[in-house]
Chain A
Amino acid sequence: MRIMLVISNLLIPVTFALILLHGFLKKTNVYENFIEGAKDGLSVVVNILPTIIGLMVAVGILRASGALTLLAGLLAPAAKLIGFPEDVIPLVFMRLVSSSASTGLLLDIFKTYGPDSFVGRLTSVMMSCTETVFYTMSVYFMSVNITKTRYTLSGALLANFAGVAASVWITGYVFGR
């Protein structure tokens, strides 16, 4: 399983090298294009700033009030049964509904446990293989007026829960618990 860590270390430098080489060989102005694109990044972050503020405040209040601990405590027996860290359960469900709210929970987990803990790594992996199913489905299907979505929801949920299970297994396997 060392291969996964090798990929982790190589992916960004290799992506850089390939894209720059391709751009250079195609005789485009690589540097100017980079600067132009980096400017787009500015608006991307500025656009999500208000959402992040709103959701981090909400999660912060939930955490400080003890409500999250209470919820985790309620879910603990079920979580123990399947060997899943109970503090991650709220994130699993929130992830299906809202990307920004789940980001709030993710940051809360990083703050509480640290990103290099088992829970921190597990949630990092989970965030890269799950999606806001309900939000995405309503946007896409509503745009073409489809009301009968047949097996889309069950398929998306199945894939997402497979992702959660895979994340637990892979994180434990690669980094240890």
Chain B
Amino acid sequence: MLNYLWCAMILAGIFVAAFTGRMPDVTNAALDSSKEAVTVCLAMLGLVSMWTGLMKVAEKSGLITGMSRRLAPLLRFLFPGLPAKSKALHYIATNLIANALGLGWAATPAGLKAMEELQRLNPRKDTASAPMCMFMIINMSSLQIVTVSVLAYRAQYGSANPSEIIGPGLAATIITTIVGVVYARLREGRNTGGGRCGK
């Protein structure tokens, strides 16, 4: 995907520049942008490391596992078709918590494990089951408490108060998740015949 996208962006830029006579600007942009990318990453390094450090403390003290366990009642509501002892629920909880804390790299392995477990319970192997749809929609509605990288970028570009968007961002992300959950619930209700789990 990125293969096409990246080439298309650069080629389109050069093509348009040929018509607007902005070739010198394009040259400068290429040189400056690469330098700027390094500056941005350097600025990110501090904040991201602080966050991963803090999250390691939470992981080692058992706080993250504790939080996943506390998610159980909510998960029973969201995934009524799954057996309560299912490992899938454990992986889903880990994935959701990691996502919420902005630990994308920790979330993906747990998420893939969850899909594997859901697939074992899935009666139709080529079709997404209702719990799969629910899980994916929640996952992609991006339930994130703090987007650390955005904070770092804001600080880098001279924001007077980089963290002012945390509250509004949280409100927006709650709205998207609610919309996603309600939609998934309505659709799975209508399609009860279609690959429901645990039946």
User: Interface readout for B117-152 with A: 1 if CB under 8 Å, 0 if not?
Assistant: 011000001111000110011011110111101100
Does A137 sit within 8 A of B, measured CB to CB? yes
Q: Is the CB of B26 within 8 A of A128?
A: no
Q: Is the CB of A150 within 8 A of B194?
A: yes
Q: Is the CB of B157 within 8 A of A115?
A: yes
User: Interface readout for A99-128 with B: 1 if CB under 8 Å, 0 if not?
Assistant: 011010011001100111000110011111
Q: How far is the CB of A112 from chain B (nearest CB, A)?
A: 10
Does B192 sit within 8 A of A, measured CB to CB? no
Taking a contact as CB atoms closer than 8 A, the residue among B1, B44, B51, B195 that contacts A135 in the complex is B1
User: Known: A57-B33, A60-B33. Is A131-B128 also a contact (CB below 8 A)?
Assistant: no
Bound Cα distance from A112 to B60, whole angstroms: 42
Q: Is the CB of A61 within 8 A of B116?
A: no
Q: Is the CB of A57 within 8 A of B54?
A: no
Bound Cα distance from A39 to B45, whole angstroms: 10
Residues of A with C-beta under 8 A to B29: 57, 60-61, 63-64
Q: Is the CB of A37 within 8 A of B142?
A: no
Chain A interface mostly helix, strand, loop or mixed? helix
Q: Which residue of B lies closest to A136 (CB)?
A: B140
User: Known: A38-B52, A53-B37, A155-B187. Is A59-B60 also a contact (CB below 8 A)?
Assistant: no
Does A92 sit within 8 A of B, measured CB to CB? no
Instruction: Give residues in A with beta carbon < 8 Å to B.
Output: 3-9, 11-12, 15-16, 19-20, 22-23, 26, 28, 30, 33-42, 44-45, 48-49, 52-67, 70, 97-98, 100-101, 103, 106-107, 110-111, 114-116, 120-121, 124-131, 133-141, 143-152, 154-156, 158-160, 162-163, 166-167, 170-171, 174-175
